[in-house]
Amino acid sequence: MNCLSISISSGFWSDAVSISNQVDLFECKCYLEVKCVILLNKVMFYPEKIIKAEKIIVSGERQFVDRHQALFDVMASQYSQLNYLYIDEFTNIVFFNKLVKFCLKVFAKLFSIAFPAKFDRWKNSAQEFIARSNRTERKISNLPTKPEFVLHVFGRSAPFWHNFDIPYGMYLDYTTALWHRKFDPAKEFADWKDCEIAAYGRAYHLFTMSRLVKSSLVNDYGIAPEKITIVGSFASYHKVYEGEKKFGSKQILFNASEFKRKGGDLVLEAFKHVRKALPEARLIIIGKKLTVSQEGVYNPGKIKSLVEMRQLFLETDLVIAPARCDPFPTFVIEAMNYGVPCLVSGNDGMPEIVDHGVNGLVVDAPIPTLIAEETIDLLCNIPLLTSMSQQARQKVRLQLNCNSVAEKMMQVLS
């Protein structure tokens, strides 16, 4: 095997790279580029404070930016200028963007079927992270007015890669290290993690939804704790509900947008036990159309109407979310906003949303029989459901709302 070995030793960087002729030279370039950026992070000076920014750009993939629009609306009132930059859009023509996205989605689907291993490797590669970051950097550099600060949504890329004369922050719900450790340990992610290290290291500040993510940034990525602020999240598209909430329907709601990851198999098995004890119980599965034929189970699929979703919450006695992996589920916060107690697993940020025994239940080891027992007990105890409902709504009013998140962010930025 022909092999290129590069060995560099210094106080900041000591690494050996072996690249066979079977590896694309572009991968080699990306690998060295990431390592150089990490080295620069260690020797460059980053100011602890910045002059109060008045012109801000919010960047990220459109679906993630739109999901947090209420937060940015609150922040916009405090700055002279707050604009948006969607990194996955190519023009200002909506129809063209939709057409291109559709074609790319079809191509990606076909490619993933034909070459699953290569597709998975590309999707989670350093090349893709760097490509996204460079694309965002070019878009920002082409703006007619230079922003004073960039707030980037989520860690699938960075807003800059080569030039970082504009300070930026990142709003994070998760890290790849957590995903790898908790849900997909077989996947190789070292190169992607190096990109994250570079992005997080160069950021002026990092805003996390949970304590868990802050801990990961410190322990897995070497980020200083004082550079991280926990701000939480909120019910994306729903205003704080002030109306009445009743119980007694015996209706259970489950979001199956990603069935296995969110514990759909556990829910269906648990509901068999619930149905035996409570024949009138109903399980509504939303988020995705499934081939489910089980007594008492209804599957309307994805609910696009906010009015219809609101009505579903108001008719529901309990939300079940025994996810194997779910960073900081907005769906749970939305349910709590309408006073629906939630039964969640002890994974990820869910125990930080639901306070066990106060506004819902946290099941550390979610197995179907245990989920069923807790569900039956709650559905048969309307006074407890009512108490949890009031506490859930109180937590949303005080903590899990866009105003609270915005205030914590703006304290740092001002």
Query: Which has the minimum average pLDDT: 11-20, 130-139, 225-234, 313-322?
Result: 11-20
Are 393 and 409 part of one and the same domain? no
Q: What pLDDT shows up at residue 122?
A: 54
CATH of residue 358's domain is: 3.40.50.2000
Q: How many CB atoms are closer than 10 A to CB 148?
A: 18
Per-residue pLDDT band at 15 (split at 50, 70, 90): very low
**Contacts within 8 Å (CB) and 24+ apart, 30-35:** 30/125, 30/126, 30/127, 30/130, 30/191, 31/126, 31/191, 32/6, 33/130, 34/126, 34/130, 34/191, 34/194, 34/195, 34/198, 35/194
Calculate mean pLDDT across residues 229-241.
94
Are 40 and 60 part of one and the same domain? no
Q: Are strands 168-172 and 297-301 parallel, antiparallel or unpaired?
A: unpaired
What phi and psi, each to the nearest 5 degrees, are found at residue 316?
-95, 140
What total of structural domains would you count in the chain?
Answer: 3
Domain range spanning residue 6?
Answer: 1-45
Per-residue pLDDT band at 11 (split at 50, 70, 90): very low
Q: Using CA of residue 344, residue 349, residue 353, residue 356, what is the dihedral sign?
A: positive
Query: Which has the minimum average pLDDT: 26-40, 259-273, 283-297, 400-414?
Result: 26-40
Report the share of the chain in percent with pLDDT over 70: 79
Are 358 and 409 part of one and the same domain? no
Residue 5 has pLDDT above 60, yes or no: no
Question: Is residue 322 exposed (0-12), middle (13-18) or buried (19+ Cβ within 10 Å)?
Answer: buried
Q: What pLDDT shows up at residue 200?
A: 97
291-319 burial: b if 16+ Cβ within 10 Å, else e: eeeeebbebeeebeeeeebbebbbebbbb
Q: How many CB atoms are closer than 10 A to CB 71?
A: 25
Residue 358 has pLDDT above 60, yes or no: yes
Q: What pLDDT shows up at residue 412?
A: 93
Which of the residue ranges 45-54, 91-100, 233-242 has the most confident prediction, judged by mean pLDDT? Answer: 233-242
Are 330 and 370 part of one and the same domain? yes
Is residue 329 included in any domain, yes or no?
yes
> Rounded to the nearest 5 degrees, what angle is found at the Cα of 268, between the Cα atoms of 266 and 273?
95
How many residues are recorded in the chain? 414
Reported as a single tens digit per residue, the pLDDT across 377-399 is 999 999 999 999 999 999 999 99
**Distance separating alpha carbons of residues 113 and 52, to the nearest angstrom:** 49
Is residue 89 included in any domain, yes or no?
yes
Is residue 217 included in any domain, yes or no?
yes
Are 24 and 100 part of one and the same domain? no
Are 181 and 310 part of one and the same domain? no
Whether the CB-CB separation of 343 and 361 falls below 8 Å is answered with yes
Are 33 and 112 part of one and the same domain? no
Is residue 80 included in any domain, yes or no?
yes
Are 74 and 219 part of one and the same domain? yes
Is residue 237 included in any domain, yes or no?
no
**Distance separating alpha carbons of residues 405 and 311, to the nearest angstrom:** 26
Matching residue, tokens 């890329």: 157
Question: Is residue 383 exposed (0-12), middle (13-18) or buried (19+ Cβ within 10 Å)?
Answer: exposed
Is residue 142 included in any domain, yes or no?
yes
Query: Which has the minimum average pLDDT: 27-36, 57-66, 285-294, 346-355?
Result: 27-36
Residue 300 has pLDDT above 50, yes or no: yes
**Distance separating alpha carbons of residues 145 and 141, to the nearest angstrom:** 9
pTM of the model: 0.84
- Cβ neighbors of 20 (< 8 A, separation 6 or more) are 1, 2, 3
Per-residue pLDDT band at 274 (split at 50, 70, 90): very high
Per-residue pLDDT band at 218 (split at 50, 70, 90): very high
| DSSP characters over 102-157 | HHHHHHHHHHHHH-HHHHHHHHTSHHHHHHHHHHHHHHHHTSSS--SEEEEESSSS
Nearest to 169 by CA among 160, 178, 177: 160
Q: What is the mean pLDDT of the chain?
A: 85
Residue 4 three-state SS: strand
Residue 106 has pLDDT above 80, yes or no: no
Is residue 242 included in any domain, yes or no?
no
Are 196 and 307 part of one and the same domain? no
Partners of 153 in the beta sheet? 171
Whether the CB-CB separation of 201 and 223 falls below 8 Å is answered with yes
Token output for 42: 């260690």
Cα–Cα distances in Å, from 101 out to 68, 178, 190, 196?
21, 29, 28, 25
Is residue 246 included in any domain, yes or no?
no
Cα–Cα distances in Å, from 323 out to 183, 211, 347?
10, 18, 7
Which of the residue ranges 160-164, 184-188, 374-378 has the most confident prediction, judged by mean pLDDT? Answer: 374-378
Are 384 and 409 part of one and the same domain? no
Are 262 and 378 part of one and the same domain? yes
Are 39 and 80 part of one and the same domain? no
Reported as a single tens digit per residue, the pLDDT across 323-337 is 999 999 999 999 999
Query: Which has the minimum average pLDDT: 113-127, 128-142, 201-215, 393-407?
Result: 113-127
